[in-house]
Every structure is written in C-alpha cells, then in structure tokens.
Structure 1
Amino acid sequence: MLFTASTVKDSLENVEFFVAANLASGVDHMVVFLDAPEARGQGEVAAALDAHPHVTCVPTRRADWWAGDRPQSLNMRQRINANWTRSVLEPFDWAEWLFHVDGDEVACLDRDALDAVPAGVDSVWLPPWEAVSEWDRSGRPTRFKRLLEDGDLNLLHVLGAVDEPSNQSYFHGHVMGKSGVRPGSGLGLTLHVPVTADGERPERHEDPRLCVLHYDAPSGEEFVRKWTALAKAGPTRYRTSRQPSARALKRLVSSDLPPETRDKYLRRIYDLTTRDDVELLGDLRLLADRDPLAAGGTPADFPAGAREALAERVTALSAGPKAGYFVEDPRPGNDRQSRWRKRLSPRD
C-alpha cells in the first residue's frame, strides 16, 4: 500500500479536495495531522477525516500530542509528524511506500513505476509541477508549470517573464519536489529529501510517471488565505530569494491596518511576485494539463487485520515526547537532481 503523511490547517473544502485528489492519483491511505485542531472550523475538518475510510486523522493538541512541548517551527512539526508516521508503518510489509506531502500538494503515483524501483533503492523523487496562478479563478487549476531547461528559462528571462533564468525564479513555491521512502528502510524524511541514519542523502529513483502537483497559490483568494495562515504558524524557512517577499507578506498580514488597505497591498505583492503570464506560457507550450480528480485511481483496501494493526500502533506510539522523531537535513551529498540543477537552493 502507498501512504502519505501531511500536516494541515485548512478549510473543509480544501481538505476534502486534497484527500480526494491524492486518493484518485494513486495514494491508498493518508495520515493527516491537524496542526491546529482547536482552531475555528477544524472540528468540521476532523469529523470529515475521521469518517473517511482511507484516512487516519491525528489531532496534534498541545497538551496530549505534544505533551506541552509543541515546536514553534512549522517545518519542525511537519518533519516530526512525517517521521512518526514512518515509525508507525515500519514493521508492516504491506506498507510499501510513504510520501511526505503538504496540504496543498497531490502525489501523482504510478503503481507500475513504483514496482519497477530496484530492490536496493529505498527512495523515489517526485518532481514538482506547480499550478499556474491567476487572481480571479473559478474552480481548481488544471494547467501546471514544470521544471525547465536552460534554453526555455533564458527565453522567459529575455521576454521579461522571470527576473532571472532559473527555476527558482520561474516557480513561486519549492523546486526540490518531494520524496517517498520505503518505511522499513530506516530512511528519514525532511521536507523534500530523504536522509540516512548517518546523515547522508541516499540515491533516489526517478521516473517520468511520478510527480507532485503543487497548488502553491493558484488564485488571489488562496494567496491571501495561505499567507494569513503562515503568519500565525510560527517560524518557517524559505529559500534565500523568497525571504524578502515572505517577510513583507507576514509584516503586512500582521499589521494593524484597515482591511481595505491590507487587501490593496496584498494584491500588489501578488501581482509583483506570484501572478503568472498564462497566455505567454501557453503560447510557448510550456504548460502541462492535469486534473488529479480525473486520474481514476481507486485506493487499495487494507489486507485482513492490517487496519486494526495500524490503529493499535498509532495508539501505542501517540503517547510520549515527539522530539526524537525530528530528522535534520542531510549533509551535502551527490544527489543527482542537485547536480544537474546547481542553481537550486538546498533549502527549498
């Protein structure tokens, strides 16, 4: 079975799409951690997830889940939750792969591609596809940007579509993609890459049939919602080129300004940093079409007794401190994706 682990704080509508899209795209079971279970609207989210047969919902309350020691950093909470999930799944041979994805991402998995991973390779790479962003949008986007080679990046730079000829400038969100590991391999999970017990970055299998769809800020409404939530989520790391925009957005969202003033300048920052020239990208044939809800995947059922075994282990590992599940970034290694895209930041 194919599993995901995610830490989310979002609306019921977005979470329902997140679950449906991942399950339709090849995921069998999702472990979803509610990052702020007592916040407004999260009770409805928890009820919907608890009722879903292909989801394990874990409310991460400060008193019980975190035992009063909730990390301030969202990135740290995400890593702890993902590696706790790996530990839960570790003894089960029916748990074949675990992918760490965010609440605005969809893991597009292909069973044949994963079955073809060599037996000695315990991790795979999901390259990112980023949804195009437009201020006004009806419905979910189905057009995506993919990582580009130097020639196309240079063309976009000369046309004024990007500030510099790099995928970091082309993408608004991360460019490192996401990773999956075999839960029994002992590999840990960071936000984007796996890591061995001795801090090395292992080989990752690549296949064009695998990717992660990233709905970073597909509309103006989502842009505002996302940055309002991040402003309250605690410290979050961003790649160097994105830090000024992140700091400016957090400052604007948290400032004591009239709503109309805040909205006016949120729109300006959006236009300057996030809006895509969809017509240009379409004319140059740089966009790919994908509707995850139309992928047609059907989640696999648990083998006999497996659902009960999973629930028992979730209960057993829920008590006690969680800090020991945190995994540091790997030391600089020889990851092939990093070599052929040297301009990408190791942070995001």
Structure 2
Amino acid sequence: MCTVSTVKDSAANIKAFVEGNLAAGADHLFVFLEGAAEEVAEAHQYLKEHESVTVVRTGSRYWNPRRPGDLNKRQMTNATLVSCALAILPAVHWVFHIDGDERLDIDKERLLALPPDVPCVSLRTREAVSRPHWDGEVDIFKELLDEDTLCLLTMLGVIAEPANTAYFNGHTHGKPGMRPALDRYLRIHRVLDTDKQEVPAHSSDDFHVLHYESFSAEEFIRKWQNHTTSGTRAKFSGRRDQLRGAISAVVTNPALTDADKRELLTTIYRREVEDDLPTLQRLGLLVTPDASHHAYGPAAFGAEDAAALAQVMARLRTVDKRHFDHNDLGLHPRDLFAQMRSELRPDEAALAARLDAYFRTDPGLGSR
C-alpha cells in the first residue's frame, strides 16, 4: 500500500508526515518535493535516505514541457504518474493521494480484504481540532455532521452557517485511493476514467484520512503565509478564498512590522479558525483515532520489484508530463508505456516482461 504527495514544508513536518503514515499502514511513500534547493535541503536529505520513501525533486528538468502554475494540476499529475508506475507491480494493491498535512486512518486488513472488483475507495475526512497550542500529540478530531447538529452549532454561535464547510477549516470531500492502473487518473478528491467520468468509490467508516489543517495558531500562520508567498496560487473558494485574501493583505502590507503582522494573523486565527473545544466536547462530537490503526510497520519492496520501480521512475522523470494530466491533446499513459516497452534494451528484459504481463491484462493497452 503506497501514498503519493506533492509537498513543500519544513523538514520537521515532513519527518512527522512520513513516520505517521508508515505507522498508519503505508508501506512506501512517494514524495514530490517542491521549493528552492536551499529551502528543502534538509528535508530532501532525510527523504533520500529513508528506505520506505521515493523522493522526486520537481525542478525545471522534471516538468516537461513546462511547470504548471496551478498547484492542483501538479499534484494530480504526480499522483497519476505514480499510480501508473505502480501498475506493473502486482504486489501493490492500493495507492492513496494525500497532502503533506494528512495521515491515513484506516483498518488496513479490511481494506486489503475488499474484492478485486472494487477499483477505488474514498477516505472520509477527520479534521484536527484547532486550538492555540497543543501540549502533546494532536489527537482530537472533528467529523462531518448531519444537518440538525450543524443547525444546533449555528444557533449556539459555534459556526457561521449550518454547513460542514463552515464547521471544517479545510476540505470536506475526503481523499481517494485506487488500485494502480494505466487507465485511471488519480485526482485531488476522486478518480476519473479515460472519458473523464468519476469512478464510483467505496466508502466505509473503516477508512478515514486525518487532516491536520491549521491545528494550532502557529501552524495556521505558517501554512497560510506559505500559500500567499509561494509564487503559485492554490485554488480556493468561498470563505477560504476570503481568508487567503485577508492574509495576503497582511503579509504584503509594507506599513506593518513583523510583530504587527503576527498580531493581526493571530487575531484572524482566533476569529475565523480556532474551534470552540469545550462546546464540541460537551456535545460529544469529537473523536480520537483508533490506536490500532496507527501501529503498523511497513513492508519493503522485494528486490525485483524495487529494481523495476527504479527503472520506471527514472524513465518517467523526463517524459512529457501531460500524459498524466487529463487533457484533450490525445496524450495517454498507456501510449507512453507502450512506447517505453518498445524502447527497452536487451538488458532490461525483466522490466519488459513486467510490461508485457500488464499489457496482457488488457490487450488494447499494448496495441495503440
């Protein structure tokens, strides 16, 4: 079971992300690391040396023909690339697309027991309670609520309107996992087929993703400053886009000192993000994840699988990345992999055999 993420974060946060997801059942993580070399040097060194991680630096040589300005597009391209690379490894049953501030929270045994005709799953979101400071581990989470409970929280003044989008500070749509394949696209919150139709996803209370969205004042300030100064604008809507605009106005205001900016950002946090923890606890609305879902240990790739994966990933680093973006250019992963197969050298017979075996599962894949 693998995960794929596109990340720009501190080394400390990336370490917590890696260790947390390995304990949550991931066997191998694929991390596409963004940011200037000097900014991510420590994180890159850590990821490069970790035996359960494949790290890819996404500089100008990676983005062929050009780097998409849209963060979401970069994320989806990277996710589909990894899914395609893993398709030739029968030992890999699932790949999940998660962000750097997320962790799996699943019953792994029940996931692996799903029948083969279940092509994808949707992880329900649990969002960390946001409080100014945490003395220990972040271990209290919110879940999506029914309409009546949302109305109650609105009447109590806990949220602005009876909607889960007002209750959560981040996304409410969950995160996707799929069986690796060349004919599906792993998006932000769903899986699409080659006709751009959403693939029906299995959902269960056994399968969640923990979202550490602005869980403290410090994390709120760090994350949103990063959003407003990264040089690329992530897509937000409604209240979150208003929040981004307000924070941008603070961060870019030349009349404000650093202390002024921090004070104003903290005020925004307290007014717009901090949760009413006592009320939520009194109403019994909060959950603590099952500890048994965070006590797994990763299984390493076998030597042959690891060698095949390294060969494929090396080739995919320089290819036209538009093959992995749902586009109208006629570019498709299956064509790219068929071309890869035709270009393999005699000393790459093992990889050729794996590609041939995959193509035999759908003869159309190798005949285009």
Provide the TM-score with structure 1 as the length reference.
Answer: 0.89
The reply on whether 1:200 has 2:197 as its aligned counterpart is yes
Equivalent in 118, 126, 129 of residue 132 of structure 1: 129
**Which residue of structure 2 lines up, in the alignment, with residue 333 of structure 1?**
none
1:254 paired with 2:214, answer no
Q: In the superposition, relative to structure 1, how do residues 217 and 125 fare at CA in structure 2: closer, same or farther (>3 Å)?
A: same
Q: Aligned partners of 2:87 and 2:229: how far apart in 1?
A: 33
Task: Give the letter aligned to residue 261 of structure 1.
Answer: D
Greater helix fraction, Structure 1 or Structure 2: 2
Alignment of 1:71-150 (within 5 A): 71-150=68-147
Name the structure 2 match of 1:178: 175
Task: Quickly say closer, same or farther: Cα 1:109–1:39, change in 2 above 3 A.
Answer: farther
Deviation of the 1:307 alpha carbon = 1.1
Corresponding residue of 1:278: 277
Task: Give a deviation string over 1:75-97, Cα, whole Å, max 9, x none.
Answer: 11111111111121122211211
Distance 1:243 1:34 in 2: 25
Give distance in 1, aligned partners of 2:248 and 2:174.
24
How far off its partner does 1:268 sit?
Answer: 1.4
The 1:293/1:226 distance shift into structure 2, 3 A limit, reads farther
What is the match of residue 49 of structure 2? 51
Structure showing greater radius of gyration is 2
Q: What amino acid sits opposite 2:268 in the alignment?
A: I
Describe how 1:218-297 pairs up with structure 2 within 5 A. Answer: 218-233=215-230, 234-256=232-254, 257-290=256-289, 295-297=294-296
Rounded Cα–Cα distance in structure 1 between residues aligned with 2:123 and 2:198: 15
Distance 1:30 1:292 in 2: 21
Instruction: Return the offset for 1:116.
Output: 3.3
The alpha carbon displacement at 1:291 in A equals 7.4
**Contact (CA 8 Å) 1:217, 1:226: kept in 2 or not?**
yes
> Given that residues 25 and 293 in structure 2 are in contact (C-alpha distance below 8 angstroms), is that contact kept between their aligned partners in structure 1?
no
Q: 1:139 to 1:68 in 2, by over 3 A?
A: farther
What SS does the aligned partner of 1:199 have?
coil
Which amino acid letter does the alignment assign opposite residue 54 of structure 1?
S
Is the alpha carbon distance of 1:16 and 1:305 closer, same or farther for their aligned partners in structure 2, counting shifts above 3 Å? same
- Distance of 2:293 and 2:3 partners within structure 1: 20
Gaps of 5+ in 2: 328-368
Corresponding position: 1:27 with 2:26: yes
Taking the aligned partners of 2:151 and 2:12, their CA distance within structure 1 comes to: 39
What CA RMSD, in Å, does the superposition of the two structures yield over aligned residues? 1.7
Structure 1 residues 37 and 323: CA distance shift in structure 2, 3 A? farther
C-alpha distance in 1, partners of 2:291/2:235?
28
Shift of 1:22: 0.4
Query: Does the CA contact (< 8 Å) of 1:127 and 1:211 recur in 2?
Result: yes
- Per-residue CA deviations over 1:286-324 (Å, capped at 9, x if unaligned) read 000137798210111213411111111110111132133
Q: Quote how far apart the aligned CAs of 1:38 are.
A: 1.3
**Residue-by-residue CA offset, 1:22-41 (whole Å, 9 max, x unaligned):** 0001111000010115142x
Distance 1:37 1:297, change over 3 A: farther
Give the Cα–Cα distance (whole angstroms) in 2 for the partners of residues 9 and 143 of structure 1.
25
Which SS does the other structure have where 1:36 is aligned? coil
Matching residue's letter, 2:21: N
Question: What secondary structure, in the 3-state scheme, does the structure 2 residue paired with 1:183 have?
Answer: coil
- Maintained 8 Å contact 2:93/2:112: no
In structure 2, distance between residues paired with 1:169 and 1:219: 18
Question: Could you tell me how far 1:186 is from its partner in structure 2?
Answer: 2.0
Give the Cα separation in 2 of the matches to 1:45 and 1:181.
28
Query: CA 1:208–1:68 in structure 2 vs 1: closer, same or farther (change >3 Å)?
Result: same
Question: Is 1:308 the counterpart of 2:288 in the alignment?
Answer: no
Aligned to 1:341: none
SS in structure 2 of the partner of residue 305 of structure 1:
helix
Report the 3-state secondary structure (helix = DSSP H, G, I; strand = E; otherwise coil) of the residue aligned with 2:63: coil
Deviations 1:2-21 (A, max 9, x none): 01000111111111110011
Secondary structure at 1:124's aligned position in 2?
A: strand
Q: Distance in 2 between matches of 1:222 and 1:241?
A: 19
Hey, what's the Cα distance between the residues in 2 that align with 1:109 and 1:21?
Answer: 12
Q: Give the secondary structure class of the aligned counterpart of 1:18.
A: helix
Corresponding residue of 2:62: 65
Deviations 1:202-227 (Å, cap 9, x if unpaired)?
11111211100000101111111101
Structure 1 position 327, deviation (Å): 3.2
Give the secondary structure class of the aligned counterpart of 1:207. Answer: strand
State, as a whole percentage, how many aligned pairs show the same letter: 35
Q: Distance in 1 between matches of 2:197 and 2:310?
A: 32
Q: What is the DSSP-based 3-state SS (H/G/I as helix, E as strand, rest coil) of the residue aligned with 1:206?
A: strand
- Alignment map for 1:208-219 (pairs within 5 Å): 208-219=205-216
Distance 1:303 1:16, change over 3 A: same
Secondary structure of 1:244 counterpart: helix
Cα distance change on mapping 1:292 and 1:267 into 2, 3 Å: farther
> Which aligned runs of 4 or more in structure 1 are off by greater than 6 angstroms?
291-294
